[in-house]
Structure 1
């Protein structure tokens, strides 16, 4: 979905639904001090806001609606490993259909590595979070139940179509599919906001989402990298969160990883899986 940083709807950590995708862009990998030169490979980073780096700041001015960040884990990995080429097409709010139609251009038979987060936006979690941050537990539970029904019914087929297209375009690539962290530490430090019952239900929805993504990824021969353990102790309501809570002044960044969430949460996952 295409949206500016002053978007008027809550942008979820899992999805930013109901917007259009900005066009892909290519970002060169710039070697830096400590760069590893052993990775002479072609790397393409696909996906939604979690791969684009929404919430991490330092956004590129090109394709600004995608909110691609210089602190996103794909950029950090490329800077550390100096691949022979690096294409960064991930975009804020992208659904599986958006990735399929607008992000796969850089993939070729020479592509060696692909990373992707996708599936949250398909499941309607921007609407879920917009509902849940307002008073009304029953409405929150109902919104979560609708999202989970979509995950169990429609999402697997959407992922299959996308994963098949990725494999067709990049038959030799190692594909790393990254999941989503729990949003909340239940019984944490938050003194207000959602009730712990609502936080638990949202975390359980993340568990289902990751389960669907992992199953489809593995069936296509891809590697699934699960961030839940890495983010344990760093959820919203923890003492050192790596996720933004709702920010009424900048709703787009709400429920997305901070810069440490990208560098300390997601980057080691890709490094270990690549």
Structure 2
């Protein structure tokens, strides 16, 4: 006995739905299974200051954006090689070996330590305005004259080691709110000078990333309104690094947006 037309239509719709759902789920699972992610870089990538460390020596944090991205996306493979204090030679010596022809996604944050970030911040925190500006000028000369070539060499190595990977270079945030008072912090003039140094560093990194064909995730807009001296800072005033909230609410969205398909 033939089914009524309405019943037959309902069964047909149900059958089509039962076919469509597994196909979609299967394609999504296949895409996730293809991602092999390697996270390289310095303390801003490893998560120094974000707590919950899986590796104390390198201050690799489970709250850092690479680990958070991996948790959220469940890639087929994830290698967290970033290490606090790393400079470009350290990445070349200790981290790029994690890359290979099967790597499909790479994140990299580097250049701050090479430009003398730590010593510059000490000069600005504990010395005069003129000493702070001198330290920033010295760092700026390195960023303009030497860093571009060193980044080009590093980026070429990354591409050679991971020829099929999407590479996202992650920049640095402005550290301080500019203008107004900052109780217990730097003067307004010092804060402006430090942020200008960050601009120069980011512009150099972004330029070399573009020349290499890599994406650039800018940390400055990601942290805007949450710098040191704001009421809701996502950067620690004590260690001048992003907090766990900074990684989750600023770096993670910036990195995720830079990854194609997101």
> TM-score normalised to the size of structure 2?
0.86
1:138 correspondence with 2:130: yes
The CA deviation string for residues 209-268 of structure 1, in whole angstroms up to 9 with x for no partner, is 00000000010010011011111100000110000113xxxxxxx100000100001001
Give aligned pairs, total.
Answer: 230
How far is the alpha carbon of 1:187 from its aligned partner?
A: 2.1
Report the secondary structure of 1:177's partner residue: strand
Question: Is this contact kept in 2: 1:188–1:238, CA < 8 A?
Answer: no
User: Which residue among 153, 169, 179 is the counterpart of 1:187?
Assistant: 179
How far is the alpha carbon of 1:160 from its aligned partner?
A: 0.7
Query: How many angstroms apart in 1 are the aligned matches of 2:219 and 2:118?
Result: 20
1:120 correspondence with 2:105: no
Query: How many angstroms apart in 1 are the aligned matches of 2:144 and 2:123?
Result: 21
1:39 correspondence with 2:32: yes
Extract unaligned runs of 5+ from structure 2.
1-27
How far is the alpha carbon of 1:109 from its aligned partner?
A: 0.7
Match of 1:149 in 2: 141
Question: Is this contact kept in 2: 1:96–1:119, CA < 8 A?
Answer: yes
User: Which residue among 23, 36, 47 is the counterpart of 1:53?
Assistant: 47
1:259 correspondence with 2:256: no
Query: How many angstroms apart in 1 are the aligned matches of 2:183 and 2:37?
Result: 43
Question: Is this contact kept in 2: 1:46–1:90, CA < 8 A?
Answer: yes
The CA deviation string for residues 29-61 of structure 1, in whole angstroms up to 9 with x for no partner, is xxxxxxx8542210000000010001100011x
Match of 1:22 in 2: none
Report the secondary structure of 1:105's partner residue: helix
State the structure with bigger RCO (CA 8 A, min sep 6), 1 or 2.
Answer: 1
How far is the alpha carbon of 1:191 from its aligned partner?
A: 2.1
Map 1:1-274 → 2, pairs under 5 A? 37=29, 38-40=31-33, 41-60=35-54, 62=55, 64-188=56-180, 190-246=182-238, 254-274=239-259
How far is the alpha carbon of 1:135 from its aligned partner?
A: 3.5
Extract unaligned runs of 5+ from structure 1.
1-35, 247-253
Report the secondary structure of 1:45's partner residue: strand
Runs of 4+ in 1 over 3 A off after TM superposition: none
The CA deviation string for residues 82-106 of structure 1, in whole angstroms up to 9 with x for no partner, is 0000000000011111101110111
> TM-score normalised to the size of structure 1?
0.82
Query: How many angstroms apart in 2 are the aligned matches of 1:94 and 1:42?
Result: 23
Report the secondary structure of 2:114's partner residue: helix
Match of 2:6 in 1: none
Question: Is this contact kept in 2: 1:108–1:169, CA < 8 A?
Answer: yes
